[in-house]
């Protein structure tokens, strides 16, 4: 199985140098823009059908005014696995994939990475999958830090069923309280996890600027997932090169 530490030699080197935490981890997700135009987001069933030739083959005119479009009724004719999503209420919707990282907290190395369709549940599903995957490789997290987007009962229960303490940021609104309470937040380790989890942004920042991950270069989940593995491995090598002299 490919994962961020795809080479066992790399894993043993990091572990032997004391660079990784075997217990405390962080998870986070982001959206990466798909290599597909909004003009390709057409009603389902149109792909493959013969259509009238466009007025401009290189940049055809498409009028979406008054048309209600959603992932339930439409798909991209260029990359059907991409999904319509938005990064915020004031940001226009685009076609995206979701990317997810599992980070060890000691030095911010990437323990696993995943790319999936940008569904509303991708963050929780992929986080649980990464926890299970690293467990099969002998890594058993005891705590998992995350932002408010992971303060969901289903996800918190899944972590506890796996023996992982959910150090997720509390999302308290007028409609509901947080899924983690004082039994978790009172411990000093919770505050430490909340500080450490911010380092995961360094992985995403490096991947998007240096690794070219801001927009996908391939179509489909599988190809982009492989690209994610290679990008994460490159990040770890770069990070370890800076840490090893100090650890020697």
In angstroms, what CA-CA distances link 165 with 124, 142, 228?
A: 15, 6, 27
CA pair distance 228, 218, nearest whole angstrom: 11
In angstroms, what CA-CA distances link 154 with 22, 114, 157?
A: 25, 20, 5
CA pair distance 72, 75, nearest whole angstrom: 8
Q: Residue 95 forms beta bridges with which residues?
A: 84
- Domains of the chain and CATH, by start: 8-28+103-247 (3.30.420)
Return the half-sphere exposure (C-beta side, CA atoms, 13 A cut-off) of residue 204. Answer: 19
| Separation of first and last alpha carbons in the chain | 30
Query: Dihedral angle at the C-alpha atoms of 202, 24, 162, 223, nearest 10 degrees?
Result: 30
SS3 at position 2: coil
Tens digit of each residue's pLDDT, the chain (248 residues): 445 444 456 667 777 788 888 899 999 999 999 999 888 888 887 655 555 555 455 555 555 555 687 888 899 999 999 999 988 788 888 999 999 999 999 999 998 999 999 998 999 999 999 999 988 888 899 999 999 999 999 999 999 999 999 999 998 876 778 999 998 999 999 999 999 999 999 999 999 999 988 999 899 999 999 999 989 989 998 998 888 875 44
- Positive or negative, the CA dihedral 212, 200, 168, 129 is positive
Helix axes 221-247, 200-209, angle to 10 degrees: 120
């Amino acid at each position: 199985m490919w994962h961020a530490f795809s080479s066992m030699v790399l894993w043993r080197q990091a572990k032997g140098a004391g660079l990784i935490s075997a217990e405390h981890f962080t998870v986070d997700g982001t959206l990466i823009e798909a290599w597909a135009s909004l003009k390709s987001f057409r009603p389902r069933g149109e792909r493959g059908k013969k259509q009238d030739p466009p007025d401009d083959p290189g940049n055809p005119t498409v009028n979406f005014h008054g048309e209600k479009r959603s992932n339930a009724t439409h798909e991209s004719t260029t990359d059907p696995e991409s999904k319509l999503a938005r990064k915020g209420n004031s940001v226009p919707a685009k076609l995206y994939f979701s990317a997810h990282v599992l980070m060890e907290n000691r030095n911010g190395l990437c323990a696993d990475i995943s790319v999936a369709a940008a569904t509303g549940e991708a963050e929780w599903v992929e986080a649980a999958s990464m926890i299970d995957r690293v467990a099969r490789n002998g890594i058993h997290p005891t705590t998992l830090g995350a932002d408010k987007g992971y303060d969901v009962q289903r996800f918190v229960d899944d972590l506890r069923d796996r023996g992982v303490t959910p150090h997720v940021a509390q999302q308290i609104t007028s409609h509901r309280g947080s899924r983690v309470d004082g039994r978790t937040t009172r411990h000093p380790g919770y505050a430490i996890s909340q500080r450490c989890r911010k380092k995961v942004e360094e992985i995403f920042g490096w991947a998007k600027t240096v690794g070219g991950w801001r927009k996908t270069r391939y179509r489909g989940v599988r190809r982009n997932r492989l690209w994610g593995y290679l990008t994460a491995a490159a990040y770890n090598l770069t990070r370890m090169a800076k840490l090893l002299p100090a650890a020697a």
